[in-house]
Every structure is written in C-alpha cells, then in structure tokens.
Amino acid sequence: MSSLPIPSPFATEPAVLSTSLLRRFDVPGPRYTSYPTADRFVEAFGPAEYAQALVQRREAAGARALPLSLYVHIPFCESLCYYCACNKIITRHHERAAEYLQDLLGELRLQVAELGRGEPVSQLHLGGGTPTFFSDEELSTLMTALRESFDFLPGAECSIEVDPRTVDEARLAHLAALGFNRLSFGIQDFDAQVQKAVHRIQPAAEVFALMAAARRLGFASINADLIYGLPRQNSTSFERTLAQVVELRPDRIALYAYAHLPERFKPQRRILSQELPDGPTKIDMLSRAIGVFGEAGYVYIGMDHFAVPEDALAVAKRQGRLHRNFQGYSTQPDCDIIGLGVSAIGRVGASYSQNAKTLEDYRDRLQQGQLPVVRGLALGRDDVVRRAVIMAIMCQGRIDFEAMGAANLVDFRQYFAAELQALQPLAEQGLVRLDARELEVTPAGWYVVRAIAMVFDRYLQADRARTRFSRII
C-alpha cells in the first residue's frame, strides 16, 4: 500500500497518508459554515419567525448582545465563470444594479423596523456575484444607508469581494474612502489554459498591479482566493501559480477545492469531466500548497485558509478565538449575522434564515411589504450542543470533554458515546488522538477535518444521501 508524505502545518515531521486512505475520504461532505447545514432549512420558518427572532434580539439588547455581522449579497456578474456555484445573475445591463439597490434599501428598512436602529456592527462583508458590479455612486448610497441604520464600531472589519477585471486603482481608492479596510481578490489560478477552460481570463500582471495599488492605499488585509481541482490543472502548473501567489504576498489565502456538481449547477456542465484532475492529483496540489505557503511563512489556519503571522486571523488562531461562519473562518465572536439581498443567509439567536433565491421572488415579497425570508431553521438544544462541538473541531481542532460538557450542561462522554465509538477507526488511522479527557485532530487529520466533524452530525447519521455536498478532497 503506497503512502503520500504531506507537509504538516502543525508539526516538524510530515503527515503520512496512504493512498487508500485518501480514496476512502474522497467523498462528499459539508463544509460546516453552519450547523445544521443550510440544506436542513425548512419552509416552515418564514418571515414571521425571522421577525420574531429580530424582536427577541432587540428586547435582549439590555443584556449587551454581541455586535452584529452584516452580509450583503450582490448577485450580478458581467461574465460567467464555469466553475461558479454562487447565486449570480449574468448581465451587462448595469441599470439592473440601480433597481436592485432600491430592493436592498427596502429590505434594510424592513429589518431595521423589527431590529431597531443603531445596533452595533463589528463586521461587514459584501459578496456575490460581483459586488463591484455596483458603480461607485451605488456603493456610496449603500454604505450611507448601512451606516445610518447601524452603529459601526471603531475598527470594524469591512470587506468586499473584488473581481480584478472590474476595478482599477481609482475604484480601490473609492472603496477605501467608503471605509472598506479588507479586500478579497478572486484569482483562482494564474495558468492561461486553466483560465480558458473556466472562462475567466485575467493576466497575472493586472492582479499584481492591483495588489500594489491596494498596498499603497493602506488596506489592512488583502485576501487571495485560489481553487485547486479545476480543469486542465496539474501539479506542475499549479506550483507555478503558487510561486506567483507567494510573490504577490497577500495577507490571507483561501484555497478551495473545486466542487464539481453539474447536476446542481448548470454552468459547470460546460466543464469537461475528463479534464478534471483525479483525487491523488488534487491531494498532491493541496500538499504542495501547504508546503509552499508554510515555507513562505504563512500560518495554516485550518481546512482552506492561510494567513501571515501578524494577520488578525492568525492571531485569533493562536489565541483560540477563531470562529467559522457563512463566509468561512472569521476573527469575529460567535455573533448574529444579518443577511441582506437575494439568497442571503443570516443567523439570529438560535435560528438561521435564508432569503428568496431568485430576484423575482425576492422583489415580489418586498413589494408586498414582507421580509423576503423563504426558509430557515429554529435550532433545538441538540443542534446547539452539536454546533459547539463541530465548530470546535473545525476551528480549534480540539475538544476538552469536561469543558465542552460543562458549557452545554451535558455529560459529554455519555451524550456522545456512540460518536466517540465511531471515532475509534479514525484514531487507529492516525487522524485523531482520543483519550478519556479530550479529542485532538492530528496533522494528518486536518486534511480530512470535515470527515471528523461529520461523525457528530446527527442529520448525516440519519441521511446518507450526501451527493449534494462537495467532496472532502
């Protein structure tokens, strides 16, 4: 049985994973940006239930609720990237943005009417689609409305996803003037053949120029998004991209595995399956990335994130303050999230909510004066306990049984007796360390940390139909 040495971000010796073990874990599984995962949301949770959650937060304001995180979804893109699984609308008609901005402002008014004006905010993220599809004036209008509705705290993280093909230095300067202090550039891969295969042509020189401009403008943190497992990628070509990214020196790197689900996402049907790298090649690309970024001084945050040691994400990792939400790993506390826009997901108290997924449905509900929530979930006690366990695995890679049990008023070993038994094979395979007091993810286990978390997912235990999820490797 052959094995693959993998650079370990947590130890001086490389982790060693057998190829048979890698194949065993090349299966679908949740990314756990929430628990329960969004596929468990139900239509029985609608506008009335969400409004009640907002009111309950407002009434609890005297108890000093944690600051909010805001997410605004802007779905428009000028061109189609074949790999994309986001909720987006492809159009070159920028007048549609003006209409959508009015929809956002209408939803904002409805939410604030229930939540109350002036709630503290410590984090804002504009995602998409392509948020920079909005003009400078439209972005100014949106930011003014948000600041009038909420109290942005000093030092609040304000981030925006940027398609490098849609901005120049002047636009970046405008974003800085609006208060954005963090940027996320979508790179995916610098190889020309890969870019052609996924219909996203962007010369490296343009990205380098934008990065230099962002540095001059003083953005506190700049993220680069990469994807491995794309068509026409191979270990050699991807290593060239890694070298360019190291030269680019972003503060953070998000390295995602491409999830090929053409039965769910129509644009992916334009990708030829025979051009996709196989599982061993993908894990080799991941291994090379971890090795290259580690040698360049990056801290491996977990699963798909890297950061320079002085970045807030790396600091949060060292201090045990790392959290995970719908945008991935986060420095923010385990706080409520207000989602605005088509398909946006939010979390308020012990509930999740999601807006209408089509622009027509979203707009129709707003025109009727309704919050555009179409589904969600009110968490039960078991959900809350398991969420704490899964997020501890995903973020800290460790569970102290006594401390976790005390925090959730359960006898951990008794409550999770079946799960601890199910972890034994993973322990024998060297993926977790188990004793009477704690569980710890090993360096090798971080490569399949989603599989470790899945052991505690009650919904997956009852439902083995996992094809709706991306593959772990």
- Residues at the binding site for [4Fe-4S] cluster are 77, 81, 84
Q: Which two tokens stand for residue 168?
A: 């120049």
Positive or negative torsion for Cα 254, 259, 264, 267: positive
| C-alpha span between 288 and 237 (Å, rounded) | 11
Q: In Å, how far from its chain's centre is CA 124?
A: 14
Is residue 441 within 8 A of residue 426, CB to CB? The reply is no
Least Cα distance to 130 among 70, 201, 185, 51 occurs for 185
Residues annotated within the binding site are: 71, 77, 81, 83-85, 128-130, 161, 188, 200, 225, 259, 345
Q: Prior bond to 155 cis, omega within 30?
A: no
Positive or negative torsion for Cα 93, 84, 322, 463: positive
| C-alpha span between 258 and 230 (Å, rounded) | 6
Q: In Å, how far from its chain's centre is CA 6?
A: 24
423 half-sphere exposure, CB direction, 13 A CA radius = 27
| C-alpha span between 49 and 258 (Å, rounded) | 35
| C-alpha span between 460 and 466 (Å, rounded) | 8
Residue 89 phi, psi dihedral angles, 5° rounding:
-130, 120
Q: Prior bond to 267 cis, omega within 30?
A: no
Angular region, 396: left φ>0, alpha ψ -120 to 50, beta rest? alpha
Residues annotated within the binding site for S-adenosyl-L-methionine are: 71, 83-85, 128-130, 161, 188, 200, 225, 259, 345
Residue 451 burial class via C-beta count within 10 angstroms: exposed 0-12, middle 13-18, buried 19 and up: middle
